[in-house]
Amino acid sequence: MKGIRIASRQGLVPLSTEYIASVDMWKPMAVGMWAWVLHRVTGIALVAYLLLHVSLMSISLLKGQPAFDSLLSTLMTSRPFQMLDLGLLAAVLIHGINGVRLIPFDLGIGVRRQKETFWGGMVIASLLFSWSALRVLPEIMK
């Protein structure tokens, strides 16, 4: 058995190296691909935030109640931190709505409607983010 073989409907077939090396396959970048990239980037950002959040809270709790209270008051009154919270909200909305959009695809429903469902989800995320930002920004800018 020479070379790498992959499974296909026709059985094991040789892996085409032209397909792997082709840069042209990335040029069109359809909406489904952008949705995939956005989902991965927001997922990584949320995991990084979660790790940072848990480590900061744990370390401050280990130092005692005064250190924990001091950290919380510093973070909650910091304008840059509050703006980053808006970024966190955007990442949660995008990742969550895109995740819900993917559930029917896993069941084979609406696979041919990726463009419409992606843009519909992004409109919903944008509306929710805008509504939230309009309510929160006046408090941040005080």
- What are the residue ranges spanned by the domains of the chain? 30-140
pLDDT in tens, 99-111: 999 998 888 888 7
Report the CATH number of the 30-140 domain.
1.20.1300.10
Please name every residue paired with 47 in a beta bridge, in sequence order, or none if there are none.
none
Kindly report the pTM of this predicted structure: 0.74
Mean pLDDT, the chain, as a whole number? 83
Q: What is the pLDDT of residue 96?
A: 96
Structure tokens at 17: 């190296």
**pLDDT (average), residues 87-100:** 96
Q: Is the pLDDT of residue 40 over 90?
A: yes
In order of 24, 48, 57, 75, the CA distances from 54 in angstroms are 42, 10, 5, 14
Structure tokens at 108: 């084979």
Structure tokens at 85: 């919270």
